[in-house]
Amino acid sequence: MSIAENIARIREEMAKAAITAGRNPDDIRLCAATKMNDSQAVRAAIAAGVDACGENRVQELVQKRSENAYEGAPVHFIGYLQTNKVKQVVGQVDLIQSVDSLRLLQAIQTEAVRQGICQDILLEVNIGQEESKSGFSAGEILPLVEQFSSFPNIRLRGLMAIPPISQNSGDNCKFFQKMYNLSVDITAKKSDNVCVDILSIGMSDDFADAIACGSTMVRIGTAIFGQRHYT
């Protein structure tokens, strides 16, 4: 199957899941998780109409940008971001989805001030409370959002999560439901630089469940590009 055929099939499955849940398919964005795929593959995904490209590593972001790979689509950062690399990401991407610590928020704020910009971000939630994953605990989110005016150069657009690897389909619904509830709670908080309209949950194996639970953005790699070859 080509990248375009994969994307067409995913769009159909996304629409089906949305309609089944009584939702408008237009309310769910498709972000291509492009890690380990080259500029040619990224261009094919953009030509086939993905809404955004999500990159995991700063090095890949810089490389593919230098090859004009992202022309025609917004770029998001979705991987672990070290504070010493914020200069290469802030102002270079439309959305940083993976903001996982207070330290990182402060580093983004400082860099955004230096550049004179406002950076859109999502807070990453460690929704499965896994040792191996970064992110805020669910309980930390509301207090943080209430203090968001202390980051005037950051605009909070919503939440992102990577739930635990599931064995059976449907396993992650409870985590997606928690994420949805959390996003409803923070939407109710009115603050100048909080404008919550994105709930980024759902990957290749579970995006239909995520859409059933209220996802507004799915991040899909394998189902678009095929298996990644780690070497």
Ligand X SMILES: *Cc1c(COP(=O)(O)O)cnc(C)c1O
Q: Name which position in 17, 28, 33, 61 contacts ligand X (CB under 6 A).
A: 33
Tell me the backbone φ, ψ of residue 97, rounded to 5 degrees: -85, -20
| Mask for 163-202, x = binds ligand X (CB under 6 A) | ----------------------------------------
Question: Is residue 34 close enough to count as binding ligand X by CB under 6 A?
Answer: no
Select the span of 38-46, 151-159, 183-191, 221-229 touching ligand X (CB under 6 A).
Answer: 221-229
| Mask for 149-168, x = binds ligand X (CB under 6 A) | -------------x------
The tokens of 42 are what? 């990224």
Nearest distance from residue 31's CB to ligand X, in Å? 8
**For residues 51 and 118, which CB has a smaller minimum distance to ligand X in the complex?**
51
Please work out the total of residues on this chain that contact ligand X, with binding judged by CB under 6 A. Answer: 13
Phi-psi region of 175 (alpha: psi -120 to 50; beta: other; left: phi over 0): alpha
- Residues in contact with ligand X by CB under 6 A are 33, 35, 56, 78-79, 162, 203-204, 219-223
